[in-house]
Structure 1
Amino acid sequence: MQPFASDRNSESNTATWALAFGQLVAWGAVYYAFSLFVVPMEQELGWSRASTNAALSCGLLVSGLAAYPVGKWIDHGHGRVVMTAGSLLASVMLVLWSQAGSLVTLFAAWVGLGMSMAATLYDPVFAILTRDYPSSFRTKITLVTLVAGFASTVFIPLTQGLVDVTGWRHALLALAAINACVCLPIHWVSLRDDLSVIAPTVNKTQIKAENDAAVRRALRTPVFWALAVCFTAYYATFAALTFHLVPLMVERHVPQPVILATMAVIGPAQVLARILWFTAGRNVSPRIVGLIITSAFPASVAILLFAGASPVALILFALIYGGANGTMTILRGTIVQDVMWTEGYGAISGLLSAPSNIAKGIAPISAALIWTIGNNYASVEWTVLLVSLIAAVAFGIVVYSTRRHSSPLVAVND
């Protein structure tokens, strides 16, 4: 299959930086801001913590279900329309959320936000970069995740300041305006749409047929199913642990300054790990990096399991835990092309994302139910450790299954 476009350095670099900045804003305005609105909403409207978090889980479930059709539309050349419409929908839903006076409205807003996340966050960007820049997509995906990694650093204090000064409803309106003013023009101007524009000589019917055939071939490939198990198990454990990490440490009577320090290390560890991959690790095969990541995550859980209230052990856990997640995002965007193929990438990526996103929505609630068995987090930690080991074994199967096709040590230079 011929690539859809050649890389024109200045144009492609400008577009990549624009998309990276758009990802920073999209993640910050929609995803990371949620936790800051929970308490003020509960105080004003009397909603329970379970109800508000159920709305977020609903959004993640919708995002998972929408991942495949979104990926397929992008494969067929509609990335510009998909991401622009997704940005518009996100801003409209943030406005709707700001007017919520009932749980029905909150859930309706998050159903829409779930669809917008499927259309605007990492997966569609990765699909577009893979399709449009076949010789440099790895570097571009790494750059996008590196910039977007600062979303929580920028938007958590920004959103908290807006909530403190204007109240949660006006803060949501401000985020809607920021998202519309930044992401809408970025996606409309920086993206090329329709296969005839990307490659004027391409036969669109033939490309669609090849993409559809590639998806059917993926579903018959053991590597695809091993990746699906790996990503689903990984993101389930990460979501379960992330949403319960603070109460877990509180249960252990970890001092508040140590809790804050532990949580504060995770974000920078993600960014530092991405920088390390972008610099020293860019010529290392994603398969080797994947083995390191999927082994490091259960190692971090084991450290947490026996850390007690030790500040040193908890900081070590946070460094490994954050670093593994930071690089997993890049792995998620590059491993399919490394162990399978690029045809139909958007749809294949969507199929892989669907169970992962659904698992992310279910995992925090499941962890809470496991906690109720003994009213302590030991059973949750052991469960997370077991499932994370399943992710590591599944990725090992991916590497074993593909080891004969290419060198496992060196990646193609971008």
Structure 2
Amino acid sequence: MVAALGLTQIIGYGTLYYSFSILAPGMASDLDLTLSQVFGVFSAALFVGGLSATYIGRQMDRIGAAAIMTAGSALAALMLALCAAAPSLATFAIATVLAEICAGMVQYQAAFAAVVESNPQSAPRAITYLTLIGGFASTLFWPIATALCTHLTWREIYLIFAALNFFICMPIHFWMMRTAKAKSAAGTATHKRQIVIGAIPAHLRYRGMILVSSAFALTGFTLTAILAHMVPMLGSLGLGGAAVVIGALFGPAQVLSRLINMVFGKRLLPPMLAVLSGVLIVSGTLILLISGSWLPGAVAFAVCLGLGSGINSIAQGGLPLYLFGSEGYGAITGKMAAARLAVGAGSPFVFAATIEKVGLGSALLANACLGFIGIAAFIAVMLSCRRQSPAAA
């Protein structure tokens, strides 16, 4: 199941997120918009998608994550096709917004919930494996989208992406849904009687939710802003064709961080992972700020950012389970995802506008400052958390 989910995460993130920055210039030219306006549409779509995360999380607890993912894949394909056929800006904007709502139904939030539903006790390990596979999304889809742009229009590329979601992701998610129902009907879903008890005391639960949600939101803003502009930003620094190659290092670095964590990180608790992810993301931002067009500095930036992003994805799935337990996991992660995505939604537009107004250096510095605040929130969570032994009931 984890291997199959990993494939759908590569396609889900590649088609619904990572490829947008590559296709955005073509969209702007075709729709007679500025690049910042196109990213404004994308930011609005991310914001609405973030607001829907809480509802999606509750529905995953109610009817199962695999069922939500099956519907999400079909709808994502439909929305991508609608974007490709959009005759006007209004249709394009509506379809983009709906596509990002669908993204919340098929990406990590839903995949983590599916893993926790399958077996809460082994979920932390499975989440690491899942993110290990999903980390190839940017590595594959940035070069793929770039190559396709030389031969096809963005509309034709979106039709290909729609087909990937419909003919690959949807059947996998449907198979998962049928498998879960078959196990339940056969009375073999014993794991549903197993729960993971959260480490955070009950009287600190609300405070913990606020701190963790804020920390993920700020870190997500920092990361999303850079990822949405990564390849064009590196190109603007004078790195030329090397920008795509450097950007492609982000994916392997994500995979490397997850592989290192899988092998050596057994004693590193989720709060510590979250702090480490924030430190790496901010470090990468500062390296690029200082090094500018220096090629080794750009490489170090991409690697640090990838390492931090890889660990951050593990923390997004593992930290809520560690702190709050497996009961109501879908609703809990939905609330956190709503805060993270809603705050991060404006980052592509804000970052683009900041670059236009005050320059790339000031934009990177402001981004790093927000990242430092996120790190402080993660540290507060780590200090306030008292570890309790997980128990099964």
TM-score range normalised by the length of the shorter chain: 0.7 to 0.9
Task: Report the CA distance shift for 1:309/1:282 in structure 2 as closer, same or farther (over 3 A).
Answer: same
Q: State the AA in 2 paired with 1:236.
A: F
Residue 86 of structure 2 aligns to a residue whose secondary structure is: coil
Residue 320 (structure 1) shift: 1.4
Q: How does 1:2-401 map to 2 (within 5 A)?
A: 15-191=1-177, 192=179, 197=184, 200=187, 221-245=206-230, 253-256=237-240, 259-371=243-355, 375-401=358-384
Specify the structure having the higher radius of gyration (Cα). 1
For each residue in 1:366-399, what CA deviation from the matched residue of structure 2 results, as whole angstroms up to 9, or x when unmatched? 23444455x3233222211211111111001111
Query: Do 1:18 and 1:190's aligned partners in 2 also have CA atoms closer than 8 Å?
Result: no
Q: State the AA in 1 paired with 2:298.
A: L
Query: Do 2:142 and 2:248's aligned partners in 1 also have CA atoms closer than 8 Å?
Result: no
Residue 223 (structure 1) shift: 1.2
| Structure 2 unaligned residues grouped into runs of 5+ | 196-201
Residue 76 of structure 1 aligns to a residue whose secondary structure is: helix
For each residue in 1:174-227, what CA deviation from the matched residue of structure 2 results, as whole angstroms up to 9, or x when unmatched? 22122111111111112355699289599xxxx9xx9xxxxxx79952111110
Partner Cα distance (1:297, 1:182) in 2: 32
Query: Do 1:91 and 1:179's aligned partners in 2 also have CA atoms closer than 8 Å?
Result: yes
Partner Cα distance (2:274, 2:118) in 1: 24
Partner Cα distance (1:406, 1:44) in 2: 56
Task: Report the CA distance shift for 1:37/1:382 in structure 2 as closer, same or farther (over 3 A).
Answer: closer
Residue 101 of structure 1 aligns to a residue whose secondary structure is: coil
Query: Do 1:266 and 1:322's aligned partners in 2 also have CA atoms closer than 8 Å?
Result: yes
Residue 239 (structure 1) shift: 1.8
Residue 110 (structure 1) shift: 0.9
Partner Cα distance (1:273, 1:79) in 2: 27
Bigger shift: residues 46-55 or 136-145: 46-55
Residue 25 (structure 1) shift: 1.7
Partner Cα distance (1:298, 1:193) in 2: 40
Residue 362 (structure 1) shift: 0.6
Partner Cα distance (1:306, 1:160) in 2: 28
Query: Do 1:219 and 1:225's aligned partners in 2 also have CA atoms closer than 8 Å?
Result: no
For each residue in 1:301-342, what CA deviation from the matched residue of structure 2 results, as whole angstroms up to 9, or x when unmatched? 332332243333332222212110111111111011112211
Query: Do 1:19 and 1:190's aligned partners in 2 also have CA atoms closer than 8 Å?
Result: no
Task: Report the CA distance shift for 1:157/1:369 in structure 2 as closer, same or farther (over 3 A).
Answer: closer
For each residue in 1:15-67, what CA deviation from the matched residue of structure 2 results, as whole angstroms up to 9, or x when unmatched? 22111111112222222232333233333443332332222112211210111
Partner Cα distance (1:167, 1:369) in 2: 26
Identity, % of aligned pairs?
29
Partner Cα distance (1:83, 1:130) in 2: 14
Whether 1:405 and 2:387 are equivalent positions in the alignment is yes
Number of residue equivalences:
383
Query: Do 2:67 and 2:174's aligned partners in 1 also have CA atoms closer than 8 Å?
Result: yes
Residue 309 of structure 1 aligns to a residue whose secondary structure is: coil
Task: Report the CA distance shift for 1:90/1:247 in structure 2 as closer, same or farther (over 3 A).
Answer: closer
Task: Report the CA distance shift for 1:77/1:40 in structure 2 as closer, same or farther (over 3 A).
Answer: same
Residue 79 (structure 1) shift: 2.1
User: CA RMSD of the aligned region, Å?
Assistant: 3.0
Partner Cα distance (1:249, 1:177) in 2: 31
So what's the TM-score if we normalise by structure 2? 0.87
For each residue in 1:235-256, what CA deviation from the matched residue of structure 2 results, as whole angstroms up to 9, or x when unmatched? 11112233345565566x5443
Partner Cα distance (1:274, 1:371) in 2: 32
Q: State the AA in 2 paired with 1:365.
A: F
Task: Report the CA distance shift for 1:166/1:336 in structure 2 as closer, same or farther (over 3 A).
Answer: same
Name the residue aligned to 1:10: none
Q: State the AA in 2 paired with 1:383.
A: A
Query: Do 1:233 and 1:388's aligned partners in 2 also have CA atoms closer than 8 Å?
Result: yes
| Structure 1 unaligned residues grouped into runs of 5+ | 1-14, 211-216
Residue 221 of structure 1 aligns to a residue whose secondary structure is: helix
Partner Cα distance (1:65, 1:108) in 2: 15
For each residue in 1:125-177, what CA deviation from the matched residue of structure 2 results, as whole angstroms up to 9, or x when unmatched? 10121122112111211111111111223333434444444433332222212
Name the residue aligned to 1:11: none
Query: Do 2:44 and 2:346's aligned partners in 1 also have CA atoms closer than 8 Å?
Result: no
Name the residue aligned to 1:7: none
Q: State the AA in 1 paired with 2:240.
A: Q
Bigger shift: residues 32-41 or 221-230: 32-41
Partner Cα distance (1:219, 1:284) in 2: 22
Bigger shift: residues 119-128 or 266-275: 266-275
Residue 47 of structure 1 aligns to a residue whose secondary structure is: coil
